Amino acid sequence: MYRTLIFDEDRRISEGLKAILPWEKYGHEVCGTAVTLREAVELIIRVKPDVIFTEMLFSDGNGADLFDAAITVCPHLKAVVLTSYKDFETARRLCNAGVVRILTKPTKMAELTEAVEEVNRRIAFEYSAECIAELKNSDTPKQLTPRAGNFAVQQACSYIKDHCKEKITLEHAAAAGFVSKWYLSVLLKQLIGKNFYELLNEARIDVSKDMLKDPGMRIAEVSTQLGFSDPAHFARVFKKIEGETPNLYRRNIMETRGIPNPDE
């Protein structure tokens, strides 16, 4: 969850914004609101947010003061500015590189939603770029921060899932994770306790379960399309993971639907 704060001199606006958006749906947790610059700075120091939604003009200061304090505490902070039309130019001049959007009040729901999505995209892009740079500059898994190691594994696992029907290798998955095959093997064991082939087989069996629901496909066809050497190999792997043979799995599915099992 991205830690998010909302600042506006009108408490009705800050509390309304907190209530109107389904923040959790977008991966955000609203950790507080403030109506003065002093309160806002205190919240930033205490919460160390990832994102702020803020007015630019306060009775006790302006947006430039707020951003100076915020960037010192949270150098990667992302902000969405909410301002009245007459203060738009002032807000634009005071904004820095951390500002993703400037929205004029009253703000439409669609504009708020777009702003949150753009914030998420910006954070994801910067996160990916930083992790890739760290992975390319490290020599051993011990040199990695946890987030870079997790990023490499996530990328490799996504590649395996998306390409499990193809003839992929550990080298392919490692390239997707921006590490060597040895490096990836170590990370997989450390972080999820499995090796490449276990993950590949799990992904293939997961896909096979949907394919086996199609009465137009025989088990041998499913096996071939998923890259298994023969139906017997497919059956062994399927039973190891699912606890039953693909034929029994299919029989139960077809009986429930009242359809003859094409393999019997």
Q: Give the CATH number, domain containing residue 236.
A: 1.10.10.60
Final residue in a domain of this structure, among 177, 194, 211: 194
Final residue in a domain of this structure, among 194, 212, 236: 194
Give the model confidence (pLDDT) of 21-35 as tens digits. 999 999 999 999 999
Residues 6 and 116 in one domain: yes
User: Burial of 98 by CB count in 10 Å (0-12 exposed, 13-18 middle, 19+ buried)?
Assistant: middle
Residues 59 and 120 in one domain: yes
Residue 55 and residue 65 in contact, taking contact as beta carbons nearer than 8 Å: no
Domain of residue 217: give its range.
198-257
pLDDT at 256: 84
Q: Is residue 263 part of a domain?
A: no
pLDDT at 262: 75
Q: Is residue 132 part of a domain?
A: no
Q: Which residues of the chain have pLDDT under 50?
A: none
pLDDT at 139: 78
pLDDT at 88: 57
Q: Is residue 129 part of a domain?
A: no
Residues 16 and 48 in one domain: yes
Give the model confidence (pLDDT) of 48-104 as tens digits. 999 999 887 788 877 777 877 888 888 889 989 887 755 656 556 555 657 888 888
